Chain A
Amino acid sequence: MANVRLRDIRKSFGTVEVIKGVDLDVADRQLAVVVGPSGCGKSTLLRLIAGLEEITSGDLWIDGERMNDVPPAKRRLAMVFQSYALYPHMSVAENLGFSLKLARVPKETRREKVKEAARILQIEPLLGRKPKELSGGERQRVAIGRAIVRNPRVFLFDEPLSNLDAALRVQMRLEVMRLHDELKATMLYVTHDQVEAMTMADVIIVLNAGTIEQVGTPLDVYHHPRNLFVAGFIGSPRMNFMPATVTSVGEATARLSLPGGAALDVPADPQRLRAGDALSLGARPEHLALSEGGALRGEALVIERLGNVTFVHVSLEDGPMLTVQAASDEPVRVHDRVSVRLGGEDAHLFDGAGLAMPRVPQDHKET
């Protein structure tokens, strides 16, 4: 049983507050990913949980025990650092076994545990080597192995894959997920890469400038972003945004005026909108299509052909650039004039403050 609970956690460095009141619940055996842009405080949050930084105010509980004043080694956590932080003068086996040696575990037991961890990560042939003789991926595994050996309640990962090249990153991602499945452990994983977050997480926590923007499952966060930030951060290529004005409000729909004068009907809660309201409209590339008679018109400036899919970047006549997803054999060429169709049911509406507007009237609440 290893759940983690944070209540109103705040952290200041001098007069600068970097974590501004975070509430979080990570259930036992979940792989929770904290994702956010550089400088949002995600590493700091992890270090607060690990005990490497002091919590300014708020409470941290692990398995029901308050951990604010417990030193790192006694919290029964293990951390995998971004730079791996292996002990350069010790062999891989010694690196793995160091924590056990400190805990005065007898040599036989130590050796067994080290071998077990090495087996899980397939690094047995490396046991005699020193860190400087290993590749990046191998060092990463040793760092993870060091964590496994400690048999912690919670694993903490601080951007462990950012120092690896792209191909290795994909491979290691799968490794971590496999590990999570095999060890059935609670894992708290920090990254700035939203692809990692989407593919790995049981639950995603989107952090921005020290506050939590949204918590949810990946698909939840993807399909129902709570605000402009989450909508723009999650999903690659990025969601398209354009200004829209409400021209009229119906029973369960509203008519919007888009750049270029086009009109669009979207499902909306009539109690929340009035004619004349200025909103932001968000539409993901896969919900836009190049088609004759589409409401938005412009010129195809850049075309990205990935092989399985094509992304067409359209510069609207009077409006922003849109990224439209198209089929892999889409025949459009650069500088072609195109028109883009958008379905109202797929659009996301955000009010003046950047908050998402619910798409159906209040009595059909969705989470």
Chain B
Amino acid sequence: MVTSIILKKLKSAFTDLFPIILVIAFFQIVVLKQPLPQMGEVLFGALLVVAGLTLFVQGLEMGLFPIGEAMAHALARKGSLFWLLCFSFALGFSTTVAEPALIAVAWEAAEIAGQGGLIDSSRESLSQYAFGLRMSVAFSVGLAILIGVMRIIRGWPIHYLIISGYVVVMLMTIIAPKEIIGIAYDAGGVTTSTITVPLVAALGVGLASSIRGRSPLVDGFGLIAFASLLPMIFVMGYGLIIFG
């Protein structure tokens, strides 16, 4: 019984990975006409990926989803808007501020700004710039989750908020310094890590299902969308302020 469940999960994880194997094999053999290097290493790695994905999905069902929903229900039952918003902001801020992908992007951005002569290229001013960038992204993600949760509670239609956000992004693109635009656009994508996404999704769906009149599908999703939109605006704003 247990083994058949495990086998099923392993099989679905293998299916998830199969396209990658196919693409790599095709390009390596047909296009580049080269044998696969280090077959042993690659196979071992692929096994780890399959095992890891299986455990991850199992853990989602057992841990991350239930805790996200339990927190949402408990906070909704408590009925204090202040604490709910505190939790939302803290969740967004704390999971983003130490995100390795963000640290890497912020540092790269600082180096580009230094090379472009936009800021002083001493190490100290670079790290100051990178730190400021990181903080503004983390703050914006916190704010994004907070706004998203407000939206779920009040039942505002998501498209008005997101489209106004897009309009702001477009307007800022016109006036923002060229060097920051690419990074600003990418910053939206790197903020939401693999552990944050399921938790935030469960929080939104949990909230929407515990507030009367809200539909989990229409109102429960959308938190991640805010978390990828707001950082773009904040990073461009940061660029505008720093570069004048």
Q: Do A and B bind each other?
A: no
Instruction: Mark A residues whose CB is within 8 Å of B.
Output: none
